[in-house]
Structure 1
């Protein structure tokens, strides 16, 4: 069954979150494992502080990265050999394309798993067609899933998982190094960067536009918003919400109750958290937390 929730312009978007499963494995370098199937879902533009390494097991997905749209799907006959890699700090969204939706498995990798210098190559070519790489990612997912289902301790299978991740990272570096895409230049010093640093520092308590403009030198509010959007591809409020959702995911997987997570991550209350969590993750905070405990 689907859950009805309002979409843009009064449309109703049905989010089917069967088989949503997320957990934090005791493996250095992996911030989160996320498995899900959606028949109709649209992620708003957001950023991660992790590398997003994704494989599709069925269906098609469409996404924008650095304002350029990409699409990928799994053939009706046979498996896909494509791996999707999205770099940290770069805005992206995502949405279903067909009524069948899509099934995906994601590894959120810590920012230091790959060098920041590879960001440009990943932005230029986020779709990596590489059967060897996909098989390595698939194998790591199987191992992590078996360990989670068996409720194994922190050291069980850890060495093997670390080894598999090392070979995945090596393959990614080999695929990305030497490519000559359009150079990606991260925003340098300026109002946009200063506002982002301010938002990161005030993640929980938040900040008003008037406070931000005063701290940053009494600049005009609309100018500040335009500069930030030009630098990061989304408005300040959307950036802040996305970062709060990331914080909430980690707290939920660490075992904190949704009602407590709401305040700890900067949301007004649990209802406020739930509303934004549905949009960004496709399920409720409680179900997300239970999926991690269920194994």
Structure 2
């Protein structure tokens, strides 16, 4: 098989994520090197063999691998057809330095839920305008990683990471009010956390428990509702995207179709012989 190299990399506008890197390699082998960030790796096809701190490791497709900062490692294909991977480089403060040792000892985690969340985070990071979703998913991923690396304290975390019922309901209501107020300009999870004086993970869990929907899903559905009204007023999808708080028309179309089942253009279509209502300012 001829050597193949397909890569893409970008820096998303999401606090805590230094870089997103997707690659397909058939023969490339990484020399020993280090990163100043946490390396969160999933392999979608094939497998990677690597040495971490002088110990041989591997990444079958159903695992999540976490390589700590400043620890030497390499990497090479473990199958004849190479590997396809997706990597998130997380800012060092995202995980406490005390977790470096446990990550060196057990970097590969067979956790379907964690893997699914990492994949969902990659999907969110690929689309500008979905920063709140990405931040929410990153918060839950961080919680899951800490649970793997500090299993002895799982009981303590289960208590501290989940707000008490009354406190949680109050947090959820406050966050919903903030999201309603910032429908168009949006709200980052870090901003919300600062405003209500609560940890981001607490906020996500409290909101989801109280309302049965994640904060980013709530914000998106409110924006889609606004878009529906604007479309029925006769405005174009491009104009509606801006007026409903979406990044651009493609961002509107993707979420609108997911929620409503049709594209904005088809939704706004009128049966023959019917006049569109007059456009209102």
With normalisation by structure 2, the TM-score equals: 0.53
How far the C-alpha of 1:66 sits from its partner, in A, is 0.3
Q: Which of 139, 143, 163 does residue 136 from structure 2 map onto?
A: 163
**CA offsets per residue over residues 184-243 of structure 1, 9 Å max, x none?**
xxxxxxxxxxxxxxxxxxxxxxxxxxxxxxxxxxxxxxxxxxxxxxxxxxxxxxxxxxxx
Q: Quick check: 1:51–1:88 contact (8 Å CA) kept in 2?
A: yes
For structure 1, the 5+ residue unaligned runs are 3-13, 75-79, 181-295
Distance 2:55 2:152 in 1: 18
Alignment-derived partner of residue 217 in structure 2: none
The answer (yes or no) to whether the contact 1:38–1:96 under 8 Å persists in 2 is yes
Q: 1:67 to 1:139 in 2, by over 3 A?
A: same
Residues 1:50 and 2:23 aligned together: no
Stretches of structure 2 that go unaligned for 5 or more consecutive residues are 154-281
Aligned to 1:33: 20
| 2: CA distance, partners of 1:103 / 1:142 | 16
**What's the counterpart of residue 235 of structure 1?**
none
Show CA shifts across 1:69-111 (max 9, x none).
Answer: 012323xxxxx2x100000010000001222100000000000
Change (3 A) 1:53 1:32: same
Pairs within 5 Å for 1:234-273 = none
Q: Spell out structure 1 runs of 4+ moving beyond 3 A.
A: none
- Alignment CA distance shift 1:179-1:102 (3 Å): farther
Root mean square deviation, CA, Å? 1.6
1:78-227 to 2 correspondence within 5 Å?
80=62, 82-145=63-126, 147=127, 152=128, 156-178=129-151
Bigger RCO (CA 8 Å, 6+ sep):
1
CA distance in 2, matches of 1:62, 1:158: 33
SS at match of 2:36: coil
TM-score w.r.t. the length of structure 1 is 0.50
Number of residue equivalences: 153
- Residue 71 of structure 1: which of 47, 58, 83 is its match? 58
| 1:278-289 equivalences in 2 (<5 Å) | none
Q: Which of 1 and 2 has greater Rg?
A: 2
| 1:51-72, Cα deviation, whole Å (9 max, x unpaired) | 0000010101100000000123
SS at match of 2:123: helix
- Once the two structures are TM-superposed, the CA of residue 178 in structure 1 deviates from its matched residue by 3.6
Listed one character per residue, the Cα deviations across residues 98-134 of structure 1 (whole Å, up to 9, x for unaligned) are: 2210000000000000000000100000101111100
> Retained in 2: the 8 A contact 1:121–1:179?
no
Matches of 1:179 and 1:57, distance apart in 2: 31
CA distance in 2, matches of 1:24, 1:177: 29
Give the aligned partner of residue 233 of structure 1. Answer: none
